[in-house]
Structure formats: C-alpha cells, structure tokens
Amino acid sequence: MNKEVILQDLGLKDYKETWDYQEQIFKETLDIKIKNRREDAQLVTPNHFLFVEHPHVYTLGKSGDMQNLLVDEEQLKEKNATFYKINRGGDITYHGPGQIVGYPILDLDNFFTDIHKYLRFLEEMVILTLQEYGLKAERSKGETGVWLDVGTPFARKICAMGVRASRWVTMHGFALNVNANLGYFDLMIPCGIKDKAVTSLNVEIGQKEVSMEEVKEKLLKHFKVLFKAEIN
C-alpha cells in the first residue's frame, strides 16, 4: 500500500481547468488499477492532494436543484462569476478567492476502503485545524461538511464538502472559507439548505485576513496523522 501523497499547490486557477486536471489524474490512477486487475501487473497507484483557489464560481452537483442558484447568466457576468454542472455529489456550492479548496485524489485501497470514513476524516482534518484557532467546529447530523454552533439558531457552515469515487479512487473534496467574500453566498441557497448561514474563519476570529499558507500547513499536518500519509 502506497501511503505517499504528492502535494501540488495550483494557486489561483480556473475551475474548469482544475477540474480537467483532476479528471486527468483520476483517469490515470483508474487505468493503473484496471491494468493491475486485468494483467495482475501489481503497479503502485499514486495519491495526489491539490490545493487551489478559484475565481468566483458556482458549481452544481448531480443531485442539485438549479433553483438554488438565485441569479441568472447576466447577473453572474456582472459579479465576474461562472457556473458549472459537475459530477460530484451534493447540491450547489460557491468557490472564490479567500477560500482554500482541497482536492485529494487518493486510491483508498492504499488507506482504507470506506467512503463514509473518508468523508469523516476530511471533516476531522478541518475540525482539528479550526480548533487551533480557538473555534469549536463540528459535524451537523445528516449534512456533510463542517459547522459552527450546530443545533442552535446561529448554526453556520464554514466548510463545504462533496466527493466522487470510482473503484475507490476519489476526486473533488472540500472548500474551507478562510478570507472568503461572504456576499457571494447570498446569490445561492448553500447546498440547498435554506435556514443555515455561512461564515469564514477571518470573520469568526475577528481578523481582517488569516494567513492561507498557515491554514494549509495545519490542514496537511492533520491529514498526515489521520490518513497515516507521507506528503511529498
């Protein structure tokens, strides 16, 4: 089992370009697994972890409802935002500058073959990171992602998640609001959940700006422990 994870930070990159790149890595890994199965090739499958920030974009998952996007094409242009329907689970999500997006493209055969556990580990990585900033983040029953003040009228989401997996290879991932412009969330019903607000780390700790690099380092630290992974 290969526990090595290849890390790439793509910086600010268009959503569709990043999606195509993910698909390329995803397909390459699947092709190795298929060759192993058909030819008993016993080739090692790679694991990748991509960090990226996207320009303003809204994405709708397979089970999503278009009505959860509250603006039309013209209004999107005015906001310098784009829109894509994509092949992950979940409903509508916003990505934009000030948000850390993480795409682990892992062969879970190298770690554990359990998608539920995989999602819980991603959530735990974010929860432990936010704990370092003095925030009590947690899961909300029946809702993927990471939240604050769960079970109160002030419940708010700080990290969205949506993944796809095939033959235990994962893609897509999480989006953690660090210095996000929260006004863009008003243009949609986040994840199709009408009665919950959205927040950002800098707002919660009362700072104008939080170091994105510092947050990434903390995320990776917890990822390594949870997944017993080596990052390269």
Q: Which of 146, 191, 198, 201 is catalytic?
A: 191
Mean pLDDT of all residues in the chain? Answer: 93
Band of the pLDDT at 89, cuts 50, 70, 90? low
Q: Using the predicted structure, report yes or no on whether residue 6 has a pLDDT greater than 80.
A: yes
159 in active site: no
Contact 165, 30 (CB under 8 A): no
Look up the pTM and report it. 0.93
Over pLDDT 70: what percentage of the chain?
A: 97
Mean predicted confidence (pLDDT) in 159-183: 95
Q: How many CB atoms lie within 10 A of CB 21?
A: 18
Compute the C-alpha angle 156/74/58, nearest 5°.
Answer: 35
Average pLDDT over residues 183-201: 80
pLDDT grade for 191, boundaries at 50, 70 and 90: low
- Terminus-to-terminus CA distance in the chain, angstroms? 16
Q: Are 3 and 45 in contact (CB under 8 A)?
A: no
pLDDT bin (cut points 50, 70, 90) of residue 59 is: confident
